[in-house]
Structure 1
Amino acid sequence: MRLRTLLAAIGTSLSLTSALAAPSQPAPPADKRISVTVEGAGPDVILIPGLASSREVWAGLASALRQQHRLHLVQVAGFAGSPAVAAGDGRVAAPVAEAVADYIRSQHLAAPAIIGHSLGGEVALMLGARFPEQVGRLMVVDAMPFYTLLIDPTATAEAAVPQAAALRDATLAAPAEQAEAMQRSAIARLVKTESARPALAETALRSDRNTVANATYELMTTDLRPELARIRAPLEVVYAYDPLFGIPVEWVDGTFRNAYASAPGASFKRIDGSFHFVMLDQPQAFATAVIDFLGR
């Protein structure tokens, strides 16, 4: 089932579009948990990729935005070959949210727009709920405030711990050949565009396995629904659907709306004909949705 696969391999992504063509300028990172590349000019937009992803997942979107916006492309430590950072408590997403908040302060950004995919979407929700004064608007791309709802709609964070721990431990223990085979199989269910799959898998395999395993555990055991009411910024949830999911579109619509029921004024945009990586499977529809979102 696609949703189970999504949970097991949340956000592993890399764009096959060409590297960003415009000259880029590295900006000082808030701390070692992130690095940021800045390009373009105009209102600020921060782009956060998903688990085991490169910031290059946004390359196609960046080419459409950089003439009118200043883009801050985040790379999370430990993903896509970037150096890992030891975490005493094992958390990844929450410290990244804190690092992005520090970056916003240090760079004196005035209420930037935040766009996050998958794990990056959860980071975006954390920013909106925990640092509401620093966020102008939020777009969450195919991300849930509590991922274990995709397996069990009645799940709680506490009840998710055993399954999350088992997945984390299995990820760490898998032999290299098995891990690679599982990753390539998962990618086929996460991106519909076949030509994108090899690079997506290679990016995931260059990611630090401890960071990926710990981040997956964190996503499975973190329930942000009680925090959504703190979000002040406009929030748009973009999510994918394709008949190949094998589940009714009404089920997918209901799952996302129910998950975000406590978010005041959240709006929803479904993009059809796409798997998890909407920006790769439906780049034009996704860019149009983002441009509309930023122009409101």
Structure 2
Amino acid sequence: MKKYIILIIAFLFSALCLNVFAQTKSYPFEVLKTGKGKQTIIFIPGFASAGEVWNETRAAFEKDFTCYTLTMAGFAGVKPQPNPSFENWKNGIASYIRDNKIEKPILIGHSMGGGLALAIASDYPELTGKIVVVDALPCLAALSDPSFKSKENNDCSPMVTQMKAMNETQFRDMQKQTMPRLLEDKSKLDMVVDWSVKSDRTTFAEMYCDFFNTDLRDKIAAIKCPSLILLEYYFINLKPAIEGQYTNLKTANFQYASKGLHFIMYDDTTWYLAQLNHFLKS
């Protein structure tokens, strides 16, 4: 009898440990869950952006979809985590999908978030239902250098040192100069700059450096799901180079915005929502 009691206690202890582990498992992002639809959308924001970048998009679809809106660790005031990397974030999102038994979600990613959507659909094709890539490329660096090759051991420390050396005023001024090249809607400029300023400087530098060293051009051949690629207005002028990067993505549906810049959801909202509505509900 004593032997069985010991075994039962050991079993209960193990179950308790597993339960605690499940409750405390951390992911490299915060999540806002809304809506109660049968189909799921996971919104992945871009570089140094908050999940709020999807507010208008989510409002248009959460009546019909369950929505998970992410804000990545270290961005827009979310607490940073050690060792941020594109690879860790990709695997973290995939783990979240598996752990929460989310069946074939639609991944919608902007900028670096679009790169993460491509990477997840490439490495975990069984997890993904559809993807929407909002103004992102498989290899950002190759747009200016078509012969670009990723470095195996890329040293991001110089960029981290440079970014951390700036005081808040200098950093804010830099972002104020940068954002008008990415966002035409002036009513949103202060908000988007503020997200950058609230971002952890180490995460900001390491993720920019890491993403710029990422090349998914070969990997995307593994993507099997329907893929909508929404691109900013100016990119129509670079169509051969842009679509050349996507040569291996056989399911790609390319659509170019009618106006605006990188933040398509703000600069060409009506067109953008119409494209999403058609793709998500088809």
Are the structure 2 counterparts of residues 190 and 165 from structure 1 closer, same or farther at C-alpha, using a change threshold of 3 Å?
A: farther
Equivalence for 1:20: none
Contact 2:159 2:206 (8 Å CA) reproduced: no
Equivalence for 1:287: 273
Cα-to-partner distance string for 1:106-164 (whole Å, 9 max, x where unaligned): 221110110000110111011101111000011111011111023222222239958x7
Equivalence for 1:146: 139
Q: Is 1:210 paired with 2:209?
A: no
Inter-partner Cα distance in structure 2 for 1:177 and 1:141: 30
SS, match of residue 158 in structure 1: coil
Contact 2:108 2:132 (8 Å CA) reproduced: yes
Contact 1:161 1:221 (8 Å CA) reproduced: yes
Contact 1:29 1:103 (8 Å CA) reproduced: no
Cα-to-partner distance string for 1:201-228 (whole Å, 9 max, x where unaligned): 1111000011010111111111111111
Contact 2:76 2:199 (8 Å CA) reproduced: yes
| Range with bigger deviation, 172-181 or 263-272 | 172-181
Q: How does 1:68-147 map to 2 (within 5 A)?
A: 68-87=64-83, 90-91=84-85, 93-147=86-140
Letter in 2 for 1:280: Y
Q: Is 1:55 paired with 2:51?
A: yes
Are the structure 2 counterparts of residues 209 and 288 from structure 1 closer, same or farther at C-alpha, using a change threshold of 3 Å?
A: same
Inter-partner Cα distance in structure 1 for 2:144 and 2:164: 22
Superposed displacement of residue 175, structure 1: 3.4
SS, match of residue 218 in structure 2: helix
SS, match of residue 225 in structure 2: coil
Letter in 2 for 1:214: E
Inter-partner Cα distance in structure 2 for 1:160 and 1:96: 18
SS, match of residue 230 in structure 2: strand
Inter-partner Cα distance in structure 2 for 1:173 and 1:151: 27
Equivalence for 2:250: 264
Are the structure 2 counterparts of residues 31 and 160 from structure 1 closer, same or farther at C-alpha, using a change threshold of 3 Å?
A: closer
Contact 1:229 1:262 (8 Å CA) reproduced: yes
Q: Is 1:277 paired with 2:263?
A: yes
Letter in 1 for 2:27: K
SS, match of residue 76 in structure 2: coil
Contact 1:241 1:275 (8 Å CA) reproduced: yes
SS, match of residue 41 in structure 1: coil
Equivalence for 2:236: 249
Give the RMSD, CA atoms, in angstroms: 2.0
Superposed displacement of residue 288, structure 1: 1.0
| Range with bigger deviation, 31-40 or 269-278 | 31-40
TM-score by length of 2: 0.86
Contact 1:52 1:207 (8 Å CA) reproduced: yes
Q: How does 1:31-70 map to 2 (within 5 A)?
A: 31-42=26-37, 43-70=39-66
Q: Is 1:225 paired with 2:191?
A: no
Contact 1:30 1:106 (8 Å CA) reproduced: no
Superposed displacement of residue 171, structure 1: 2.5
TM-score by length of 1: 0.82
